[in-house]
Amino acid sequence: MSRMLSVLALVLSLAVPALAENVASPIPIGFAVAQTTNVALFGQEQVNGAKIAEEYLNSLGGVNGTPIRMVYQDTGGDEAGAVNAFQNLITQGKVVGIIGPTLSQQAFAANPIADRAKVPVVGPSNTAKGIPQIGEYVGRISAPMTVVAPNSLKKALALNPKIKNVAVLFAQNDAFSASETGIFQEAIKGLGLNIVTIQRFQTTDTDFTTQVTAVLGENVDLVVISGLAADSGNLVKQLRQLGYTGIIVGGNGLNSPNMFPVCGALCQDILVAQAYSPEAAAEVNRVFVEKFTAAYKKGPAQFSAQAFAAVQVIVEALKKVEATAKKKITAMELTEVRTALNKALRTGSYVTPLGEISMNAEGEVEQKDFYVSQIKMDADGKSGKFTLLPR
């Protein structure tokens, strides 16, 4: 009997704290992006943006006086890495929510795990169709390409009204690229242009001779690329080296300055639609640009601003959770905070470096302002910038 009791006591002692566990102080927020592999070309910028947010928001008092702590977890570039990172953050990190992963391809694998565990996910850069529909606990602050991508095509036509024949190229092994090319193709037809060739590649490809030869074989005056940074950068480089002189529109995968060293001087003039402008008027953007530039000696681009916005949105939603519960987050149970945070995220709007955004009931971001930029490379052929085109 006493043996049974002690077993029972042991079971209780293990089970009870796990059930009634409160949120730690500082409040842990998961940040799971690619810090290694080629996908780190994006992930590095995301970590840079999150670090600025963490420091700045804590300097303002965090969540009503309780600081936050970002728990960084490398996902690598694939699905397995993202799944692993999410599991670690949920069970060991005991985070209130997760920002990540970098790619939509990874989100389709990892987000269902957070959703089942009832841990809110805020996608900082997932732009494929179908992300918020993964589950009740999945949202994003990265505007989907359905609303962003077509802007760059219109700008291409404004620069060259004679455009007729379009070549479309995409990475067929990546969910975002496949989604984005579908959106581009629909928009191209909607503008009355002809798609004269559709070329497929892999995100791991480095030699694009076959695809470039196909493009040069047609009378193409616009090339539209949906891929990630390293593959797209090399594709642009080879298109130019082999003689393509028309306009190139790049999708969201070409939205990183880390892609500049890949195509070098040949990145010049690529058109890329953006969900962020460093020049946007919000005061929080001015502060963000100033702090980012001081820390990294370069201005922020879209992925950094989106990462900052994701952290900011979670911090503001946590304040709403405290206001509703009339309790400190750290006086609440972790499971309770996760559920309340998910709901609060979808309430009201947030003035971020991306402008005013909100998340609808489904977790989809609603954003007002989009931009198109053109890459302008410096004389060294390695650095450059996204120069905003007049709207």
Which residues of the shown chain bind ligand 1QQ in the complex (CB under 6 A)?
42, 102-104, 125-128, 176, 252-253
In the complex with ligand 1QQ, the residue whose CB is nearer, 148 or 329, is 148
Phi, psi of 359, deg, nearest 5: -120, 125
Q: How far is the CB of 366 from ligand 1QQ (least distance, A)?
A: 18
Cis geometry, peptide bond prior to residue 101 (ω within 30 degrees of 0): yes
In the complex with ligand 1QQ, the residue whose CB is nearer, 126 or 152, is 126
Locate 236 and state its tokens: 């642009």
Cβ-closest residue to ligand 1QQ?
Answer: 176
In the complex with ligand 1QQ, the residue whose CB is nearer, 223 or 225, is 225
In the complex with ligand 1QQ, the residue whose CB is nearer, 29 or 143, is 143
Q: How far is the CB of 116 from ligand 1QQ (least distance, A)?
A: 22
In whole angstroms, how far apart are CA 158 and each of 243, 254, 270, 321, 387? Answer: 23, 21, 14, 47, 16
Q: How far is the CB of 319 from ligand 1QQ (least distance, A)?
A: 28
Q: How far is the CB of 111 from ligand 1QQ (least distance, A)?
A: 12
Instruction: Count the helix, strand and coil residues of the chain and give each as a percent rounded to the nearest 5.
Output: 45, 20, 35
- E strand or H helix at 76: none
In the complex with ligand 1QQ, the residue whose CB is nearer, 33 or 318, is 33
In the complex with ligand 1QQ, the residue whose CB is nearer, 97 or 253, is 253
- Strands of the sheet containing 27-33, edge to edge, are 68-74, 27-33, 98-99, 121-123, 138-140
CB 251 within 8 A of CB 227: yes
Q: How far is the CB of 145 from ligand 1QQ (least distance, A)?
A: 7
**In whole angstroms, what is the distance from residue 181 CA to residue 170 CA?**
6
Q: What is residue 23's three-state secondary structure?
A: coil
Q: How far is the CB of 257 from ligand 1QQ (least distance, A)?
A: 13
CB 29 within 8 A of CB 71: yes
Give, as one character, the DSSP assignment of residue 224: E
Q: Which residues contact 37 (CB under 8 A, 6 or more apart)?
A: 76, 77, 78
In the complex with ligand 1QQ, the residue whose CB is nearer, 176 or 201, is 176
Q: How far is the CB of 115 from ligand 1QQ (least distance, A)?
A: 18
The DSSP-derived string for 293-353 is HHHHSS---HHHHHHHHHHHHHHHHHHHHHHHHTS-GGGSBHHHHHHHHHHHHTSSEEEET
In the complex with ligand 1QQ, the residue whose CB is nearer, 84 or 126, is 126
Q: How far is the CB of 263 from ligand 1QQ (least distance, A)?
A: 16
In the complex with ligand 1QQ, the residue whose CB is nearer, 84 or 179, is 179
Q: How far is the CB of 227 from ligand 1QQ (least distance, A)?
A: 9
User: Looking at the chain, which runs of residues are DSSP E strands?
Assistant: 27-33, 68-74, 98-99, 121-123, 138-140, 165-171, 194-201, 222-226, 247-250, 271-274, 349-352, 355-359, 365-367, 371-377, 384-388
